[in-house]
């Protein structure tokens, strides 16, 4: 998973905030679902990797020092939190998309077409908690389907929209 994450980050994500194709909100719902699946797999893999590494290091270091073992557990839990925050909150703020969105040719922008800001990214991703009430995929799909621009609750509050990114071959 780590290799996949790094290769996606450097090969696909080189272009920061690719130009969106206006009026493509209706074309992105399936891509958003695919991007969610890819991002979930990468994040889950990263979190499992960090937990396993932390557990192994903690077990090994417990024979040396309980305090050191506890410190490693704290560092591991912090690393999981930082990884999760970076992946969703920071990537969309810095790049306009996550690796999953990049694979599906999507970009997050403000409703006026300008780049997604870090603040908008934090708001839209934090509001996953509201999107997640009940049966998450069903709630999000219904909300996206019935809004004019296929927006989640987080998108509406942050005033963002997911559009198709302009390919290099498009002018």
Q: Within a domain: residue 116? A: yes
Give exposure, 64-96, as e/b (b: 16+ Cβ within 10 Å). Answer: eeeeebeebbeebeebbeebeeebbbbbbbbbb
Q: Within a domain: residue 14? A: no
Q: Within a domain: residue 12? A: no
pLDDT in tens, 112-161: 999 999 999 999 988 876 666 656 667 777 777 788 888 888 899 999 99
Q: Within a domain: residue 18? A: no
pLDDT of residue 141: 73
Q: In which band, very low, low, confident or very high, does the pLDDT at 6 lie, cut at 50, 70 and 90?
A: very low
Q: Within a domain: residue 89? A: yes
Q: Within a domain: residue 117? A: yes
E-only strand ranges, 62-168? 106-110, 160-164
Q: How many separate domains does the chain show? A: 1
Q: Within a domain: residue 133? A: yes
What pTM does this model have? 0.79
- The residue range of the domain holding 157 is 2-7+25-164
pLDDT in tens, 67-82: 888 888 899 899 988 8
Q: Within a domain: residue 142? A: yes
Listed in sequence order, the residues at least 6 apart from 67 whose beta carbon sits closer than 8 Å to its beta carbon are none
């Amino acid at each position: 998973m780590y290799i996949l994450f790094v290769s996606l980050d450097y090969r696909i994500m080189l272009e920061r905030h690719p130009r969106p194709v206006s009026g493509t909100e209706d074309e992105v719902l399936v891509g958003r679902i695919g991007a969610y699946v890819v991002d979930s797999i990468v994040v889950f893999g990263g979190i499992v990797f960090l937990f396993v590494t932390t557990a192994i290091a903690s077990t090994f270091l417990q024979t040396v020092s309980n305090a050191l073992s506890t410190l490693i557990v704290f560092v591991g839990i912090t690393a999981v939190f930082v990884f999760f925050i970076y992946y969703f909150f920071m990537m969309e703020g810095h790049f306009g998309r996550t690796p999953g969105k990049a694979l599906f040719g999507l970009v997050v922008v403000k409703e006026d077409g300008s780049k997604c800001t870090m603040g908008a990214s934090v708001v839209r991703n934090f509001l996953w908690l509201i999107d997640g009430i009940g049966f998450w995929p069903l709630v999000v799909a219904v909300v996206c389907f019935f809004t004019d621009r296929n927006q989640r609750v987080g998108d509406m509050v942050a005033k963002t929209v997911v559009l198709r990114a302009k390919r290099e071959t498009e002018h």
